[in-house]
Amino acid sequence: MSHFSQIKTQIRNLSSLQAALTDLGINWKSGPRAVRGYRGQTRNAEITIEQENGYDVGFSWNGKEYELVADLQYWQQNLSVEGFLKKITQRYAYHTVLNETSRLGFQVAEQQQNEDGSIRLLVQRWSA
């Protein structure tokens, strides 16, 4: 019986996910690699985060989005699963906005970190 949980996300861009993890100081490894779980069980993932207890957390592509894959009984992150995903999702959204606006010719003119944790971006594009 598998102990792995697969938690759906709205994360679809691997490079933005990798940048978000790096921003948050999370040590990750690029895959495909095995995510280690209960009694030697594994799941393949495109990103693996090794934990000190020998069990891993990963992000696996399901054909539509990257799912968080982990044996939650051995969760060993500083935040709850929900808090962990919230932080990653915020940084992921930040990088997605930067990538998309840059692709459209915009540059960040101003960036502000608000007290509530939100980020305000002002982008601009010069036209000839």
pTM equals 0.86
CA neighbor of 24 nearest in space, from 56, 60, 55, 49: 49
- pLDDT tens string, the chain, 128 residues long: the values are 558 999 999 999 999 999 999 999 999 999 899 999 988 889 999 999 999 999 999 999 999 999 999 998 999 998 999 999 999 999 999 999 999 999 999 998 899 988 988 889 898 988 76
Q: If residue 61 lies in a helix (H) or strand (E), which one and from where to where?
A: strand 56-61
- Each domain of the chain, given as residue ranges in start order, spans 5-124
- Give the tokens for residue 126: 């010069």
